[in-house]
Amino acid sequence: MAQRSIPIKTSNRKAREERLLQFEALAAFANMGDSPQDWLNFRRDNPRFFPDYLTEWIYRTANDWWRILHLSETPPDDWMELHRKWPDLFSDTIDDWAPRAAAAREAAAIAKPPLLFYRDLLRGVWRNDDADGSRLLFLLGFELESLRKGEFGFSVWKSEPTPKSPNSWRVINEMGDENSGGIKISDFPKGRPVIDRVAGAITWEFGCSFQRAIYDLMQDRWRAMVCPQCHKYFIADKTAQKFCSTKCTAEAKQKKSLEYYYRKGRAQRSKAKTKRTLSERRKKQ
């Protein structure tokens, strides 16, 4: 059967639309909140955002972190399950529950689960709070190079080991000394260089679509904007766009008008009113 050909213009348009959808997903991730309901909403709207083998783990770890962070001094009904899952944090008796729960909360408070850790890194890159590029390096999979710069805090809370990538070539990459004896710091699969044997060009194959989307967005860096009115992370349609919506544009314009009024307009209006009053008095005399 003959294959159907797709016009080049149609193919390019679909590619652009796909890129924009990926950019919008990145913006939604940057805007994602800190509660389980926020994570649930994001996952519902972007079910394929993370690699398949990481998805369940990354949300489960975030929910574990949330639960530990909000433990009370009273043991829950399933306190023994917590001991089985984290024997280093909780003992097999409730006698010392309160101090152990306090210590667990303290440990969770100084770290973020991978879900929020990567979100915060993306926020830093998005708002240009990444002068040395260390955050971007980490997001793109060059974590060792990133940590050598040491410009951002590295503290990640994990309730269980990261699942192994199904990519067979990752095993080869982790065998060499250049990977610190096989230690993988980030959770995403490693990328690799790809050589075009015909053209001789060298490109980079990222470990997952999340990293590829970040790389593509950096090629259109002007699109990554933060609304000065509502502080939302958004994708700009034009280089001159400053606000995320017409609502924020109108609110900013109104705010600017009010600021001008209180700074100069009110005094000018009062002066003009006084002048009119004096003029009317002269006419009556």
Model confidence over 176-228: pLDDT tens digits? 444 444 445 778 888 888 998 888 899 998 889 999 999 999 999 999 999 99
Q: Which residues contact 114 (CB under 8 A, 6 or more apart)?
A: 58, 61, 62, 156, 158, 162, 187
Which two structure tokens, joined as six digits, stand for 23? 């950019």
Radius of gyration of the chain (CA): 27
Cα 79 vs. chain centroid, distance in angstroms? 33
pTM, whole model, 2 decimals?
0.81
Q: Please name the residue that has the structure tokens 């440990």.
A: 107
CA–CA separation, 209 and 11 (whole Å): 19
How does pLDDT run across 228-281, given as a tens digit for each residue? Answer: 999 999 999 999 999 999 999 998 888 776 666 566 655 666 666 666 665 666
